[in-house]
Structure 1
Amino acid sequence: MSVLLETSLGDIVIDLLVDYAPKECENFLKLSKIKYYNFSPVHSVQQDFSFQTGDPLGPTAPSSDGGSSIWGVLGGAAKKTFTATLHPKLKHAERGTVSMATTPHPTNPEVRLAGSQFIVTLGDHTDYLDGRASVFAKVVEGFDVLEKINAAITDKEGHPLVDIRIKHTVVLDDPYPDPSGLRAPSASPPPSKAQLATVRIADDADLTEEVDEEAAEKKRREAEARAQALTLEMMGDLPFAEVKPPENILFVCKLNPVTTDADLELIFSRFGTILSCEVIRDKKTGDSLQYAFIEYEDKSAAEAAYAKMQSVLIDDRRIHVDFSQSVSKLSEVWRSGENAKRQRTGGHGGGWGGVEGLEKWRKYRHEDRRADRNDKYGLVYGDEEMRGRHARQGDRPERDDKDAGGEGSSRADDDRPRRQDGGRGRGGMPDSRRRSRSRSPRGGGSYRRDGGGDRGHGRRDDGQRRRDDRYDGKDRRDRPRDRGSSYNDYRRR
């Protein structure tokens, strides 16, 4: 009864002592049969003493549970361990002795429990392990592999810096019947993601290879750029991560602030037809930011301009010309195309990367998209827009003259000079209160004194005048309350 272990350093053949440790031998054979030990790391290497393996993840993995017996794999966590056999005739007397690693029973220290991990001795007379590990097999082939493991460079915990792992297990002879539910895989399974995450230095890595630091830095930057481009694609800022800037657009910088769009277009037009020429300017001040984008109809015209216009003197400034690295033009075309397609098909997907909600999080919006909004909302305001917003926040909303029943605007009082008596009109009422009542929703007309109406009234329609004529000569208190009467008349009542 033998098992072949194919490791990253070579093959090891183990003969099992089934007459002395039948439980340990059955557990080891069945775990090897289901490829449980595949990609298990060799750890806890102690020179001229022993090494340990058998945990699929190893002790450095946070999610490692230490391994499980074959009965725990098939029957659950309750059977994860089994009682180990400590035969008095089996000792750790020679190199290549194989034994199951054990732990004390939680309630009975004299009983030791075993799981899947096993120990292989690297020296003779390692009797320290007697009574602590359950011997069940011996190495018969592969002592050169044991020498390589013994000479491996390790950290202070005994973990090899270069991975040493069990690649494959082959059962050469198995006298035990398979437990219920055991299914041997038809092929060796690949390592899991959790196992790959425990790799420090791969066993097949070429450690003698000279690394070009400049090439490694370039590779790192390219990988970082690809990751950033993918992020921008997910956010909807790029149509796709592999997008490239157009080859017919030039970037011109180091311009004189006095250079205008027309100047540049006139100078660069001798190389071909120009579709657009724009000097980028500050949004608030309108001052030139001293760089521009020039779009040619033909790619060859852009190449000719790039070759001829480098360091040319324009308005006493030597300009710098390069091909544009911006993809904003392509992004706008993509977004517009997606939106147009969405409108034609009646779909609900957004033009920003296919997700409509992502548009809400964009910090800057194109001007033509902002033009459709009534409140001109955005993160950047112009001077006129700011004054308008402050005015709306400082005053209450004005009522329309037609709705208020009057012809004049209630804002007219704001432009009048203040009175010497502190802004108080007749009856001791401040102008501010009279103005506030002019916007009161109770009255249908304006209470403002505009000088052209009756003393106690604002402007009135013909129906109101006829009602006043009916009560001429009568006491004012006998009149019905008039919606157009002034505040002073209301006080006299």
Structure 2
Amino acid sequence: MSVLLETSYGDVVIDLFDHVAPRACLNFIKLCKIKYYNDCEFFRVEKGFVAQTGDPKNDGSGGVSVFEKCQPQGASFISPEISLHLSHSRRGTVSMTTSAADADAAKAHGSQFFITLADDLTYLDGVHTIIGRVEEGLSVLDKLAETEVNDNFKPYRVIRIRHTIILHDPYEDPPGFPQDCPSPEPLQTVPEDRLASDEELDDDANDEERARRLKELQAEREARSRAEVLEMIGDIGDADMKPPENVLFICKLNPVTEADDLEIIFSRFGECKADVLHDSETGDSLCYGFVEFESKEHCERAYFKMDSAVIDDRRVLVDFSQSVSRLWNATRRRRRSMAHNTMYTQRQPPLLAQAPKQFGSLGPNQAREADKQTVIQDDREKSPVQHIAKKRRRLRSRFENAT
């Protein structure tokens, strides 16, 4: 159960502890679903303490629960769900703030929440309901901690939540939950604030240049958000994974052109290795391939010289590679190896020395046979690689027969 917050300083992914504070987490994730947090500012930021937001009034006096937004209206505030198993000991802990909007609700939660900016804030335990923890985007917390604030800890620069994206929601909508919840339009007083911070826009630029820059920033942030989602669901190894800068992609090749031919042609720009892709069934060339150089400079020189060049009576197209398949394959192999090693080392089959205790008064031969059957059963249930278990059983059987 997780939510992605798009803020003025970057994206933050929060994993929610729905098994510990189910009602508070339901309230938080459903508020995100109706876009209640869009345009909410971080109205209080204290370095070494917390960054507080979630109030549409942006002053700490507003904010209600999602149940008030349902039809018929429910309670404006929910009761705390304090857990003894969670603590504010780690930076990035997300907790609901007790409301000050109503004296009767002084110990209840509405929509406001805070994110801790330092470790060991354990004196907050038992007062606020912990609902989650920041797992991605800790650099955003560093920028929040360093922002300039006034005497009331309000940042001089507007820092707001631009948008919320629900990555996983196991809860059903409460009765009367509003279904049509479009994202609000940017505030007319600061129409560009939701798209860029003051540092990213040039005040001296004309309106056309600013509009172009805003569109570029929006596209970059959308691409970043999609990459982080793909990383979380396991489709890519890292959101920051980039194509190698020393590899060229070549297409529209002649079917007779082979990898050795490309190596001979491109080796004049520097040491390189080439590969032409072929159909796995027929073996026919797919008419495209890759050339990998030892340095980025050689790759750039080859691109400028060989783009639109004629190779084997074909005018080829050359561009920098956009593929990360090799990096992703290496990441998958490394993860599989680590998972296999971890699971393999955790296996603890019973020893023959323990057979008398485990199998009572069985004789040595009977205990050995029972021990062998137990190991085989453990292999079937625990072994991550079945063929290894089979191989171990065969070797054990031959050894015992020989003896």
TM-score, length-normalised on structure 1? 0.38
**Higher RCO, 1 vs 2 (CA within 8 Å, ≥6 residues apart):** 2
Which has a greater percent of helix? 2
Q: Give the alignment's TM-score, normalised by structure 2.
A: 0.46
